Amino acid sequence: MNHESSLHHPLNPKFTANPWFGPATLLIAGALQTLTFSPFHLWWLGPVSVFLVLSVTLHQTSDKLFRSGWLVGLGLFASGVSWVYVSISEHGNTPIPIAILLMVLFVAGLALFHGLAFWFWGKLAKQHQIRRLILFPAIWILGDWLRGWLLTGFPWLYLGTAHTDGPLGGLAPILGVHGVTFWIAATGAAAYALWWMFRAGRVKAALATAVLILLPWLIAPVLKKADWTELSTEPQTFATMQGNIPQQIKWDPDFLRDQIVTYLGMTEAHWQSDIILWPETAIPIPQGQAGQIIAHIQEQLGEQSTLITGIPWYGYSAQIDDNTFHNSIIAIGNGDGIYHKQKLVPFGEYVPFQEILRGLIGFFDLPMSSFSPGPKNQSPLRASETNVMPYICYEVAYPDFVAFNARHSGLLLTISNDGWFGDSIGPLQHLQIARMRALETGRYMLRGTNNGVTAIINEKGEIAKRIPQFERAVLTGEVFTAHGSTPYMQTGSWPILTLAVTLIVFVRERVIPRN
């Protein structure tokens, strides 16, 4: 290896010589990323985490990179999504040892995506450390994209999501969350390069790199103030009911009537609101059995009012020439439309390999775990003259899915039942993800949940109003419809993914010859 392809290590050799130093650093670096998200909001730890990752991996031989990437992912997901234990153990009626085992398998499995990305990074860049440094941001976002797509995807804990309140948030309406992530990774890599340049006496190159890497950090806050969409001048009144129904009785037939009475009572003073929102499966029986409930709602609603609610839907599907069961949302009153959830949660809404897994443990037999995905390209709901695009629970985590479906809507809404995750950080992360989708699309996002976090999110991704978790309460406010599209809505993530692929080809084949 020639001296131009080798960078000095920035950390004390006394520490790096310890065989536990590398694995520990990678686990900590992964865990630091969790602190960038809600409820911690330490977004500045993103580049710090990347710097620490590179301090260990940049000098490693290619055969060690898979394990190193896996350790980064393990640190991230063990600290960031271990809340799945609550749904497996407390609500899945699964013995604690088995629940812990399933959680560990879930976390370790997700970490494989980081392992694969780092392995690919090593294969592309070989032992050339400068090439590795340049390619790192591209490899990182391609790994993120793969994780959000393969096997239905798990698009959670993207580094860019932390910048709903960070300085790079202004890039989201242009490049989306992957574009923000790219620049976070690039910043960490540049920090490593700057250390080396100053040490090598390359001051001019260091200053040029610093200016280039800091430019988006300075421009993005200005961009966030830009109005990518035009809001209506007249607001619509909005009310959403947070029923705080305990998960233990949610699907108990003895408590179905009490749940409906609860939501009707909470809506009593708000029937005249323009848009009324009940959360996911607030009506916990299929629409074919809920005729009297729906008729009563229609009678109570004001002439200009629309109530939108989650409800299971069972009926004939021409696509498969059979009856199907969907997790759905319908509009009642001065509006119409029905939407069937497309992105289902594995084990929560459907069970993969159910012929084998059903009956083994309670977690594989959760109530309402036999849903089918809805068809693609569904139309928005209509509330009076406003097109409202709904996303049910987990769907709001898919950036390109949300942006594409938002194109013909003036408002976005998401309903959820985060009672599955108890008093963990999961629901707070979920809220932040919804905020990023609002920022990417330049639209209000109305969020109705069973037990929190229920909120009105404006077109800048800011929380305009919210109510506390774990309380029975009504959130009211005014919302504005949006016209037009952000650049990200038009292009999706393709520009930044294309940039990543182009960077890989250009750097690997032309800028730096192969060793």
Which one, of 256, 201, 58, 172, lies nearest residue 438 by Cα? 172
CB atoms inside a 10 Å sphere around CB 163: 26
224 is catalytic: no
Compute CA 462 distance to the chain's CA centroid, rounded to the nearest angstrom.
16
CA–CA separation, 7 vs 321, rounded Å? Answer: 62
CA–CA separation, 261 vs 276, rounded Å? Answer: 16
Catalytic residue among 393, 440, 459, 460: 393
What is the tally of helices (H) and strands (E) in the chain?
16, 15
Contact 259/241 with Cβ under 8 angstroms?
no
Alpha helix positions (H), 301-396: 354-357
Q: At what angle do helices 172-199 and 45-57 cross, to 10 degrees?
A: 50
- What is the secondary structure of 104-159 as a DSSP string? HHHHHHHHHHHHHHHHHHHHHHTT-HHHHHHHHHHHHHHHHHHHTTGGG------G
Task: List the Cα angle 176/181/184 in 5-degree steps.
Answer: 135
343 is catalytic: no
Catalytic residue among 224, 341, 343, 460: 341
Task: List the Cα angle 223/140/406 in 5-degree steps.
Answer: 50
Rg (the chain; Cα; Å): 24
Catalytic residue among 224, 250, 280, 440: 280
Q: Edge-to-edge strand order for the sheet containing 463-466?
A: 335-336, 381-383, 386-392, 411-416, 445-449, 455-457, 463-466
341 is catalytic: yes
CA–CA separation, 249 vs 240, rounded Å? Answer: 21
Task: Name the phi and psi angles at 414, rounded to 5.
Answer: -140, 135
**What is the pairing mode between strands 411-416 and 386-392?**
parallel
Which residues are designated catalytic?
A: 280, 341, 393
